Amino acid sequence: MSFDVNTLRQDFPILDQQVNGKPLVYLDNAATTQKPRAVIEAVDDYYRRFNSNVHRAAHHLSDIATRTFEDTRAEVAAFINASREEVIWTKGTTEGINLVAQCVGRERLKPGDEVLITTLEHHANIVPWQQACLATGATLKVVPLREDGSVDEDAYYQLLNERTRIVALSHVSNSLGTVNPVAKWVQSAREAGAITLVDGAQAVGHFPVDVARIGCDFYAFSAHKMFGPTGIGALFGRRDLLEAMPPYQTGGEMIEVVTFERTTWNQLPYKFEPGTPNIAGVVGFGAAVRWLNQQDRTALASHEDALIAAATEHARAFKGLKIIGNAATKIGILSFLLDGAHPGDVGMLLDQQGVAVRTGHHCCMPLMDSLGIPGTARASFSIYNTLEEVDGLFRALEKVRTFL
């Protein structure tokens, strides 16, 4: 299967526009990716042709919606090599992590127990565990970083011990692009008797994910990081753990029988899905999975590798620019600082030239504190970006340096 980035870009109508009189160069993909026509049309088709609630009605539209909804669950499960009963619909990665922190963390943790995370984590994989520890008397332990922005693996093994009950790790850092060897760390955590959760938000859109190979107990991710809609995500959970867990929220759909005296829960996966779900989001999620499966993912990964290699080469030659995060294994994220310039000013001046990047702490304030900086400018690349856009970023940065 051949790969041509210019042909691929034709699938993304939003890219064909100008911003401030300049062709749009969209380099904020770690925040959210753009959507191919297949996803946009699938959501539009749902609302135009079979908008209905799922599972409970006996009419034609509901039947189509329900079958599409559950077929998508099976597709998403296959996408990560799980069974459909192990895939819970969520609003996104954040809700998935909160679900586990509430249903596992607060149920199982007690004083003297420890939860182990890394300095790289997004707030969504810090605060839920912090709150679970505060509620139970457990202790949050944090693995430090090496100078290159990778996790200190020796420190990880030193901190992992018989008191560790939960290990929560990012697969890929959203701020530095560091790719963690989660399969190896998960195996060690499970040998220590800990439950493991992987934050996969930044992984699923960049390379294939196999939760069986990783061996984790939970894996959370979002559709909008992998070319799908916002407001929808999935949580993989090991079936035996999901069956033993209490529900996160209660209400319609997640019940089996309700009386005024007692309630029994529905079977998996519905036990964790109260209320009317984001049906349109699920439809779009399925379209994103099918679209990705139609691509040559090896070729896509090679293209992204070429983008970050070119950006890194430019950055190293750029006077006054400091790369933040130089791990040996990383995806297409370039976080950087310009001498004498606030990242916010850099982002504003780039936007005036049509280049969209993100600035700030990227929901990683503890990481930025550990690095002794307030934040960075972050250019994050995806499969539809081009080498010409990488060149354009640095031409724009030359002007930024002149302005500042």
Is the peptide bond prior to 366 cis by the omega test (within 30 degrees of 0)?
no
Strands 321-323 and 18-19: unpaired
Bridge partners (DSSP) listed for residue 199: 170, 220
Strands 164-170 and 195-199: parallel
Question: What's this model's pTM, rounded to 2 decimal places?
Answer: 0.96
% of the chain exceeding 90 in pLDDT? 95
Do residues 311 and 393 make contact, with C-beta atoms less than 8 angstroms apart? yes
Domains of the chain in sequence order:
5-30+296-403 (3.90.1150.10), 41-293 (3.40.640.10)
Confidence at 2, pLDDT banded by 50, 70, 90: low
Dihedral of the CA atoms 103, 105, 111, 114 (nearest 10)? 170
Mean pLDDT over 302-329 rounds to: 97
Mean pLDDT over 325-344 rounds to: 96
Residue 211 has pLDDT above 90, yes or no: yes
Q: Which entry of 133, 216, 363, 364 is annotated as an active-site residue? A: 363
Residue identified by tokens 């909804």 is 69
Q: By mean pLDDT, which of 88-102, 217-231, 262-276 is the weakest?
A: 262-276
Residue 295 has pLDDT above 90, yes or no: yes
Q: By mean pLDDT, which of 130-144, 247-261, 285-299 is the weakest?
A: 247-261
User: Of 227, 184, 211, 176, nearest to 88 (Cα)?
Assistant: 211
Mean residue pLDDT of the chain comes to 96
Residue 114 has a pLDDT of 98
Going 315 to 317 to 321 to 327, the CA torsion angle's sign is positive
User: Of 188, 193, 165, 163, nearest to 106 (Cα)?
Assistant: 165
Mean pLDDT over 247-257 rounds to: 87
Residue 1 has pLDDT above 60, yes or no: no
Residue 252 has a pLDDT of 83
363 a catalytic residue: yes
Do residues 223 and 232 make contact, with C-beta atoms less than 8 angstroms apart? yes
d(CA 77, CA 122): 25
pLDDT in tens, 72-90: 999 999 999 999 999 999 9
Phi first, then psi: what are they for 380, rounded to 5°?
Answer: -120, 130
Report CA 223 to chain centroid distance, whole Å. 8
Cα–Cα distances (Å) from 230 to 43, 64, 65, in that order, read 12, 22, 19
Mean pLDDT over 354-378 rounds to: 97
